[in-house]
Amino acid sequence: MVTKTSAARAADRRGEQRRRFFVHLGLVGFGLIMLYPLLWMVSSSFKPTADIFSDPGLIPDTFVPGNYTEGWTALQFPFHHYIWNSLIVVAGSIAGNLLACSMAAYAFARLEFKGKRLFFSIMLMTIMLPIHVVIVPQYILFANLDWINTFYPLIVPKLLATDAFFIFLMVQFIRGLPRDLDEAARIDGCGHVRIFLRIVLPLSTPALATTAIFTFIWTWNDFFSQLIFLTDPEMYTVPIALRTFVDSQSQTSWGPLFAMSAIALGPIFGFFLAGQRYLVRGIATTGIK
């Protein structure tokens, strides 16, 4: 019953090939539909604004690089001012997360201490804590410290390991490292600080890279906390500047607005290309986008 003639088998193979072809066709088509808005945005950033309202195509009829220069200077400060502000916040957040989260992770993964189970479950619970629940008291605290319109409210919490998601990610990673190395180092008289700095951290590079990339993308995209803590235009970051742009603009400046939006997405796209390996591993490990 299972035996088939060679002709039937060849027909099967052809059917299989045809099936594969259609699967690929479907996947490519679907991918194009998914990416079309993005491609259209980039293409539109080179179109005269009037064409954005009439031309759904991807190739600009008239090529206008002027949108970029116009958008760059359209707001109170030149756009690199906002990019610089964003970069300060991002750099501070990355440094904070790398340092504070890896320290906490080392304690959870390698040390035995009183209350470990309790603290570990508290840590897991704070991963899911919506920022909206704590934002009001945080605002009151930072207002009392006179930190509104500074970058401290955005950076200091990272130095205090409040992005518990990354603690969890690194705990998972450190647990997978062989303990023999630490034990050997301990026998040789190394203290925890040296074991952490010389052995655990260097071996954790992949987890640190995942942390750095995700922190970059999330902080660069973050809108809610920057909207609340930065109200002075001089302190605006890229997302807040874009938001002011979209609110203040008239129908005539969609070209420049698209140009600046494309610039805002650029770094994420760059990190995405460079760090795909870490990103995919990061979400497959922990399930967070």
Closest approach of another protein to the CB of residue 135, in Å? 7
Closest approach of another protein to the CB of residue 130, in Å? 5
Q: Is 130 in the site for another protein (CB under 8 A)?
A: yes
Which range in 9-17, 60-68, 80-88, 223-231 contacts another protein by CB under 8 A?
223-231
Q: Which is nearer to another protein, 7 or 133 (CB)?
A: 133
Q: Which is nearer to another protein, 89 or 238 (CB)?
A: 238
Closest approach of another protein to the CB of residue 187, in Å? 13
Q: Which of 8, 25, 136, 197 binds another protein (CB under 8 A)?
A: 136
Closest approach of another protein to the CB of residue 62, in Å? 17
Q: Which is nearer to another protein, 78 or 266 (CB)?
A: 266
Q: Which is nearer to another protein, 91 or 177 (CB)?
A: 177
Q: Is 236 in the site for another protein (CB under 8 A)?
A: no
Q: Is 232 in the site for another protein (CB under 8 A)?
A: no
Closest approach of another protein to the CB of residue 164, in Å? 8
Contacts of 150 (CB under 8 A, 6+ apart): 235
Torsion of CA 26, 28, 34, 36, to 10 degrees: -120
- Binders of another protein among residues 249 to 288 (CB under 8 A) are 254, 257-258, 261-262, 264-265, 268-269, 272, 276, 279-281, 283-288
- Binders of another protein among residues 65 to 84 (CB under 8 A) are none
Cα 72 → chain centroid: 24
Site string for another protein, 81-120 (x = CB under 8 A): -------------------x--xx-xx---xxxx-x--x-
In the chain, which ranges are E strands? none
Q: 135, 84, 94: which is closest to 241 by C-alpha? A: 84
- Binders of another protein among residues 11 to 50 (CB under 8 A) are 20, 23-24, 26-27, 30-31, 34-35, 37-38, 40-41, 44
Residue 279 contacts residue 288 (beta carbons within 8 Å): no
- Binders of another protein among residues 164 to 193 (CB under 8 A) are 167, 172-173, 175-176, 179, 191-192
Site string for another protein, 148-167 (x = CB under 8 A): ---------x-xxxx----x
As a whole number of angstroms, the distance between CA 195 and CA 177 comes to 13
Which range in 59-67, 68-76, 78-86, 215-223 contacts another protein by CB under 8 A?
215-223
